[in-house]
Amino acid sequence: MLPLADILEIIICAILILLSVVGNTCLFFSTRRCISGPLKPSFLLIFSLVLVHLLKNLVVNIMKIVFSSGDMLDSVSCKILRFTETMTTQLTVWFMLHFAVLYHHELYQIVYPSSEAPNLNYQKRHLKAVPILWISGFGVCIPILVFTEKLQPLNTTDGTGLLYTKRFNMDCKIDFGNQQVEYYYEKIFLVLIDLLPLTILIFVCFWIAFLLWEQRKLTYGDIWIGDGTSEIEIFRGAKVSILLTLLITSLWISHFVLICFFKDLESCSFTPALLTALSSGFSTVSPYVLMLVNYKVKLEAFCCRKREESIIQPTNVLSCPYT
């Protein structure tokens, strides 16, 4: 009979995997159908987020299910688990920052239009930034892949020490052969590599909120006089950026605080399931939030209609949410 903690973790992992696969698959196909021309940064960012979310759930959470079912992890499994979990968390934060910066730029151009000719190279720069982020995320986590080793089981009378090692470190430890190097890399560098982008992300979203407030002052009788649906979708995308920022920040901080400052909860049966829900919650919920950019129209209206098919658009149909 499996312990209650293992049963709860298996149930939570299974639910997260199911919801994430369904949500990210729908987001991928609904976004892919929108592409009718050159690939835009927003599309590439969404595809990257989909891939990162699926890696988080299909690799990390499936391995957690296997582990909670009673199978022991070997050194290779430890490397894959910790590497994938750390890299997907970092890339999610970085891609969300890129997503917010992209919509901030679009919104700024609308609220404060420039008299100069628009710079057409900014989209190319945003496109190049996505593979750079992938390479950087992989490079930052290479030491985890190389130096992670499986810990030896601890002999304890009550099992509390084993529970802490098993649940919070997953029986895996980064072993550089130098405790000081391990501390600076794992406890400081890996934390800052998430915390600094999150701080910048919060600042960018405050700026987006200010621009949205400025835009409201430019409306006439609550009617925005602009270029039409493309600007409406930028406003919605900017608002979704704020919502996703609140979600990812609250989940990351809750997960960090629970691990660092509430170690007395290590013996609670719900702690492993709670940590799993916090670490994978964004990859499960965010696809549904992104698909709500055009929440007023049906699912098929998520896709941009080809220009030759939409010479005259009905007033109740909006264009692609990721333009």
Q: What is the pLDDT of residues 78-125, one digit of tens each?
A: 889 999 999 999 999 999 999 999 989 888 888 887 766 556 677 788
Q: So what's the pLDDT on residue 264? A: 65
Say if pTM beats, i.e. exceeds, 0.85: no
Residue 217 within any structural domain of the chain:
yes
The per-residue pLDDT for 25 is 93
Q: Is residue 102 domain-resident? A: yes
- Checking if the pLDDT of 170 tops 90, the result is no
In a domain, 151, yes or no: yes
- Per-residue model confidence as pLDDT tens digits over 265-274: 666 778 888 8
In this prediction, residue 179 has a pLDDT band, given cuts at 50, 70 and 90, of confident
In which band, very low, low, confident or very high, does the pLDDT at 263 lie, cut at 50, 70 and 90?
A: low
Query: Is 203 a member of any domain?
Result: yes
Position 166 confidence tier, pLDDT thresholds 50, 70, 90:
very low
Q: Report if residue 316 sits inside a domain.
A: no
Cα 298–chain centre separation = 25
Average pLDDT over residues 226-253: 81
Residue 261 placed within a domain: yes
The residue with greater pLDDT, 133 or 216, is 133
Q: Where are the alpha helices (DSSP H) in 112-265?
A: 122-147, 160-169, 179-182, 190-217, 229-261
315 located within any domain: no
Residue 299 has pLDDT above 60, yes or no: no
Q: Is residue 56 part of a domain?
A: yes
Q: How many structural domains is the chain composed of?
A: 1
Average pLDDT of the segment spanning 275-288: 92
Check residue 32 and give its pLDDT. 82
pLDDT of 133 above 90? yes
What pLDDT shows up at residue 17? 95
- The residue behind tokens 């039409």 is 228
Domain membership of residue 14 as a residue range: 4-113+121-304
Integer Cα distance of 304 and 167 in angstroms: 46
Where residue 67 sits, what CATH number does that domain have? 1.20.1070.10
* Mean per-residue pLDDT, 199-206: 95
Of residues 244, 292, 274, 265, the one with CA closest to residue 93:
244
Kindly report the CA angle at 198 between 122 and 45, in degrees rounded to 5?
40
Mean pLDDT in residue range 210-228: 64
Buried b (16+ CB within 10 A) or exposed e, 28-53: bebbeebeeeeebbbbbbbbbbbbbb
Q: How many helices (H) and strands (E) does the chain have?
A: 10, 2
Sign of CA dihedral 214, 218, 222, 226: negative
